[in-house]
């Protein structure tokens, strides 16, 4: 295999695994926006808590990685649901105040993490350390795991919202909370469920990323930034849009890092978001 | 009582504002004379924070917020850093350039955002902040990348920390005064009106886009100036000096004090920028303190501490005023109006408003279908029809809040279909709203003053202090008397009893001196005596010949007694057009609207 083809395939693979992580974060962000019209700036902190929970379960309690993955999803889902129920539901429809409340929560929780876990970086051992090399393309076992878990979780979410009563009620609440309310749907409960689902996905994303990077209280910021770009490009509130945009932004990041300089990756993604906000604020699939 | 006194009384907190500003200045001077090096440094940084916070105020008065003032600060700092170290330019020259570079940044983002509705402005500023800081990090040849710029000189003559302290104290005081001047000008009042209700502001002729753009750009200029001073003060700048949190903190300074009063911003900056430093906490606890206190304030008193306090004292003064003036004055203007001769219907000239074939679709829904009618000067036209018939949509099209899908709307010689609301008002056609009918936090008097804009729109007129705008004050005063609002002059509009708020809504419309006034359900929710009173008021307006009234109304007794002619809408179509008597006996109307009887109609 020629080296340029190999580096192209490597770029695709890395981009997809990054996109898979970002998709898990962005879906929660866009769902919360859909039901509450609030941009949740504290969503990155949930991701960070997912990673630290994994650290705690694996390195401190000595349990297996997959146990930690489940625990992280459950713990972070509970945190997210609690934040939704106590803080965010007061800011329904208030874009500005809701965004500020989210920023404040992020600041608060990040500093709680700083005081609690300390500023020294932590690391977690992953279950798969093998690297499969096929013709110059290195497929890390852990990246394959990330892609696989993301596909399973997104499929499960899809089945839940299309096949179950609760899922349909959730979609109704997201499309028109007033109409849903008048149909007898308990919108506040749907709202808390949305936060729980978003939290579970973000917690899982944190657990998935934990073996790949060092853990710091501020680790939620970079992926949150990219998740914003994804939500804007995919259309605020559109889950399908975010999934596709997550893949695209993952590939864009990976492509720019491979063929240009890694420093350009973040700002070029945001330049894309700026253009969307200025010329097509409803995104690719949104109707906001 | 002179009118200007009334204005300052309506803003009684302004007295408190003056006292507390003087106290703050005194505290600043005492601090500078007594504090040691460490605290002087805290003081300098606090003044820079204060300038940043104040610079965000205009935008926040107008009801928007930005997350990119840290980027403007960085623009100013880097302009000074680059020009002084690489080009040997004197510091004082780079200060204004720093401000201009920041202002250009604001123009770029503001033009692209306010061009549309600007609904995602906050996100846009956030994206801009990220792009700007990444560019600063990666443009190594210009900015030095992560290693930044070192050796930025101090301005000549400013050598010691104490010198810096006094320089920053003077600068902060100057910026405070500049913004005090701007905020007490007519433009400041108009920004506040925009912040209270963007719709209503448009309906009295204030266009949101340009005003927000200027407010944002002026603020960015001052943020850039502050950044220039910062660069020179610390002499070393790097991307880490301008993190995302800088922009967030600036926003919080304004929020927790409340954007309504300038002093609130000073208090907010002190609470968040000074207290944590004085306590000597570690970084984590500072963050927790700041976030927790701001979040609590945001949830408990969304308008900020100082606004809440001022409102508390403000409403007490209003209550006192109310007790003194519980008996309204003599209604002399009404008695006079009663004697005025009614116009002869024959003398009415041709129509001034003409709608032909107007339609409006919302997706598949046909809200208005081929609507044609005209209004002649001096007649009073009622538009009636069941809920959902398209009455308010019709008002929105005529007043420029929405564009028709087809058909023409002519007002005099002009076509209105494509005009924005602020332009339609300037041509003499004003509409009121059923819901956002007043500027809630402004006093009744201020509501009228802001609406008495006159025809002058020059820069000098805009920046004139409201208290000196004698014409507007006198006019607002006469409207107060005419609409029987004397007793409520100093009450915040949101605290007015319902009937008074409705009257104020009509008075705001009249303040724009319309040739034609569109009233959207001026009597909805009023008690029967209040309906009677409103009917009298509107009849007087009609008889005075100042304006032609078109109203949407469900109270049939009022409609039949006021209107010369009725247009009935049903499912977006005109089903009848004629005198009240003819229309209400039209079988089609009776069938479609009255449900077969006139009885229930009275109480719809």
Q: What is the DSSP string of A122-185?
A: B----S---EEEETTEEEEHHHHHHHHHHHHHHHHHHHHHHHSHHHHHHHHHHH-HHHHHHTT-
Give me the percent of chain B exceeding a pLDDT of 70. 87
Cβ distance B134 to A228 less than 8 Å, yes or no, reads: no
Interface contact A99-B130, CB threshold 8 A: no
- A104 within domain boundaries: yes
Residue A92 lies in a domain: yes
Q: Does position B11 have pLDDT exceeding 50, yes or no?
A: no
> Per-residue pLDDT for B2 more than 60?
no
Interface contact flag, A101 B302, Cβ < 8 Å? no
Residue ranges in chain A modelled with pLDDT below 70:
1, 285-288
Q: Of B63, B48, B388, nearest to B215 (Cα)?
A: B63
- How distant is the Cα of A160 from the closest Cα of chain B, in angstroms? 31
For B127, the closest of A99, A114, A277 (CB atoms) is A277
pLDDT tens sequence across B426-485: 888 999 998 878 998 888 999 999 998 876 667 777 888 888 778 888 888 889 888 888
Q: pLDDT-based confidence at B244, cuts 50/70/90?
A: confident
For B243, name the nearest residue in chain A, comparing CA atoms only: A221
Give the number of other Cβ atoms within 10 Å of residue B530's Cβ: 17
Nearest CA in chain B to A88: B299
Q: Is the pLDDT at B501 greater than 80, yes or no? A: yes
Token pair in block for residue B509:
């419309």
Residue A200: its H or E element: helix A187-209
A275: contact with B, CB 8 A cutoff = no
Mean pLDDT score, B580-604: 66
In-domain check, residue A261: no
The closest of B303, B201, B219, B203 to B261, measured between CA atoms, is B303
Which pLDDT score is estimated for B7? 54
Q: Looking at residue B322, what is its pLDDT?
A: 31
**Minimum CA–CA partner of A89 in chain B:** B299
User: Is position A285 within any domain?
Assistant: no
Give me the pLDDT at residue A100, please.
Answer: 87
H/E element, A240: helix A239-259
Ranking A270-274, B33-37, B83-87, B277-281 by mean pLDDT, the lowest is B277-281
Count of all residues that appear for chain B in the document: 604
Asked whether residue B320 carries a pLDDT value surpassing 50, the answer given is no
Closest by alpha carbon to A228, among A16, A12, A33?
Answer: A33
Q: How confident is the model at residue B284 (pLDDT cuts 50, 70, 90)?
A: confident
Question: In which region does residue B532 sit, left (phi positive, over 0), alpha (psi from -120 to 50) or beta (all else)?
Answer: alpha
- The domain defined by B352-438+512-603 carries CATH number 3.30.2130.10: no
Task: Give residue B378's pLDDT band: very low, low, confident or very high (50, 70, 90).
Answer: confident
What is the per-residue pLDDT for B604? 41
* pLDDT surpassing 60 at residue B407: yes
Residue in B120, B123, B248 nearest the CB of A107:
B248
Nearest by CB to A270, from B116, B130, B290: name it.
B130
| Predicted ipTM of the assembly | 0.85
Residues B352, B357, B361, B367, Cα dihedral to 10°: 70
Give me the domain span that covers residue A69.
Answer: 3-217
Residues of chain A found within 8 Å of residue B290, distances taken between Cβ atoms: 107
Domain assignment present for A64? yes
Three-class SS of B371-382: EEEEECCCCCEE
CB contact under 8 A, B248 and A103: yes
Of B126, B134, B287, the CB nearest to A110: B287
Contact criterion met (CB < 8 Å) for B119 and A221: no
Task: Give the C-alpha distances (Å, rounded to integers) separating A62 from A66, A213, B299.
Answer: 12, 19, 41
- Taking an 8 Å cut-off on Cβ atoms, the answer to whether A232 and B248 are in contact is no
Give the C-alpha separation, B567 to A76, whole Å. 60
> Considering the domain boundaries, does residue A286 fall inside one?
no
Q: Of the candidates A87, A104, A267, which has its C-beta nearest B131's C-beta?
A: A267
A174-188, B269-283, B315-329: range with lowest mean pLDDT: B315-329
**pLDDT at position B343:** 40
Given pLDDT bands bounded at 50, 70 and 90, which one contains residue B507? Answer: very high
Work out the average pLDDT over B396-404: 90
In this predicted structure, what is the pLDDT of residue B434?
A: 85
Backbone angles phi, psi at B11, to 5 degrees: -105, 55
pLDDT of B315 strictly over 50: no
How many domains does chain A fold into? 1
Determine, yes or no, domain membership for A243.
no
Q: Examine residue A181 and state whether it is found in any structural domain, yes or no.
A: yes
Chain-wide mean pLDDT for chain B? 83
Torsion, Cα of B507, B512, B518, B523 (10° steps): -10
pLDDT band at B57 (very low <50, low <70, confident <90, very high): very high
């Amino acid at each position: 295999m020629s080296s340029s083809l190999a580096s192209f395939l490597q770029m695709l693979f890395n981009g997809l695994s990054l996109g898979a992580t970002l998709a898990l974060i962005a879906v929660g962000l866009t769902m919360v926006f859909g039901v509450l019209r609030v941009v949740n700036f504290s969503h990155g902190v949930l991701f960070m808590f997912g990673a630290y929970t994994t650290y705690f379960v694996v390195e401190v309690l000595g349990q297996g990685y997959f146990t930690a993955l489940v625990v992280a999803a459950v713990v972070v889902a509970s945190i997210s649901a609690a934040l939704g129920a106590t803080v965010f539901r007061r800011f329904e429809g208030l874009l500005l105040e809701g965004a500020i409340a989210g920023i404040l929560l992020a600041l608060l929780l990040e500093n709680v993490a700083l005081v609690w876990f300390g500023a020294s970086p932590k690391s977690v051992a992953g279950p798969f350390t093998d690297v499969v090399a096929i013709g110059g393309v290195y497929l890390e076992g852990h990246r394959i795991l990330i892609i696989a878990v993301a596909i399973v979780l997104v499929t499960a979410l899809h089945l839940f919202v299309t096949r179950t009563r609760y899922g349909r009620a959730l979609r109704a609440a997201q499309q028109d909370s007033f109409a849903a309310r008048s149909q007898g749907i308990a919108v506040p409960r749907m709202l808390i469920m949305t936060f729980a689902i978003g939290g579970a996905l973000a917690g899982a994303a944190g657990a998935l990323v934990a073996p790949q990077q060092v853990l710091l209280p501020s680790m939620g910021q970079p992926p949150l930034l990219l998740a914003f770009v994804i939500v804007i490009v995919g259309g605020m509130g559109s889950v399908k849009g975010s999934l596709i945009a997550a893949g695209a932004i993952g590939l864009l990041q990976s492509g720019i890092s491979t063929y240009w300089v890694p420093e350009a990756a973040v700002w070029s993604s945001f330049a894309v978001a700026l253009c969307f906000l200025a010329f097509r604020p409803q995104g690719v699939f949104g109707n906001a | 009582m002179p009118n200007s006194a009334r204005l300052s009384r309506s803003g009684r907190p302004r007295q408190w504002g003056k006292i507390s500003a003087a106290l703050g200045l005194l505290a600043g001077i005492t601090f500078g004379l007594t504090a040691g090096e460490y605290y002087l440094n805290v003081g300098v940084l606090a003044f820079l924070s204060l300038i940043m916070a104040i610079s965000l105020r205009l935008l926040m008065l107008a009801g928007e917020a930005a997350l990119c003032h840290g980027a403007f600060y960085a623009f100013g700092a880097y302009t000074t850093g680059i020009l002084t170290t690489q080009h040997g330019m004197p510091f004082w020259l780079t200060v204004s350039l720093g401000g201009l570079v920041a202002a250009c940044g604001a123009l770029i983002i503001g033009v692209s955002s306010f061009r549309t509705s600007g609904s995602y402005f906050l996100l846009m500023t956030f994206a801009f902040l990220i792009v700007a800081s990444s560019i600063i990090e990666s443009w190594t040849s210009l900015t030095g990348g992560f290693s930044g710029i070192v050796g930025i000189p101090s301005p000549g003559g400013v050598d010691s920390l104490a010198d810096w302290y006094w320089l920053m104290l003077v600068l902060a005081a100057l910026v405070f005064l500049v913004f005090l001047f701007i905020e007490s000008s007519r433009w400041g009042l108009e920004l506040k009106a925009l912040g209270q209700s963007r719709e209503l502001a448009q309906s009295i002729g204030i266009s949101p886009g340009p005003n927000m753009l200027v407010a944002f750009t002026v603020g960015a200029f001052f943020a850039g100036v502050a950044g220039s001073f910062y660069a020179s003060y610390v002499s070393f700048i790097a991307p880490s000096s301008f993190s995302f949190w800088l922009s967030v903190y600036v926003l919080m300074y304004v929020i927790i004090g409340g954007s309504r009063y300038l002093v609130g911003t000073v208090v907010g900056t002190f609470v968040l920028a000074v207290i944590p430093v004085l306590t000597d906490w570690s970084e984590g606890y500072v963050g927790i303190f700041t976030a927790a206190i701001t979040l609590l304030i945001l949830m408990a008193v969304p308008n900020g501490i100082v606004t809440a306090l001022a409102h508390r004292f403000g409403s007490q003064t209003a209550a006192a005023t109310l007790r003194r003036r519980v008996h309204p004055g003599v209604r002399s203007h009404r008695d006079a109006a009663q004697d005025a001769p009614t116009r002869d219907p024959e003398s009415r000239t041709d129509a001034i408003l003409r709608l032909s074939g107007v339609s409006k679709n919302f997706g598949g829904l046909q809200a208005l279908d081929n609507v044609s009618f005209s209004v002649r000067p001096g007649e009073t036209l009622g538009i009636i029809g069941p809920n959902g018939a398209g009455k308010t949509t019709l008002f929105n099209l005529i007043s420029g809040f929405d564009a028709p899908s087809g058909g023409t709307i002519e007002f005099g010689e002009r076509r209105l279909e494509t005009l924005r609301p602020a332009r339609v008002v300037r041509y003499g056609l004003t509409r009121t709203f059923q819901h956002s009918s007043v500027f809630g936090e402004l006093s009744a008097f201020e509501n009228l003053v802001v609406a008495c804009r006159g025809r002058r729109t020059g820069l000098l007129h805009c920046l004139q202090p409201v208290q000196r705008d004698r014409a507007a004050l006198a006019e607002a005063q006469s409207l107060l008397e005419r609409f029987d609002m004397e007793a409520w002059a100093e009450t915040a509009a949101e605290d007015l009893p319902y009937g008074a708020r409705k009257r104020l809504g009509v008075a705001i419309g009249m303040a724009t001196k319309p040739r034609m006034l569109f009233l959207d359900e001026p009597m909805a929710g009023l008690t029967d005596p209040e309906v009677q009173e409103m009917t009298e008021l509107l009849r007087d307006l009609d008889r005075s010949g100042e304006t032609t009234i078109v109203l949407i109304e469900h109270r049939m007794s009022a409609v039949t007694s006021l209107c010369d002619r009725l247009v009935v809408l049903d499912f977006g179509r005109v089903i009848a057009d004629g005198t009240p008597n003819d229309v209400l006996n039209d079988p089609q109307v009776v069938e479609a609207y009255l449900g077969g009887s006139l009885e229930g109609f009275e109480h719809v």
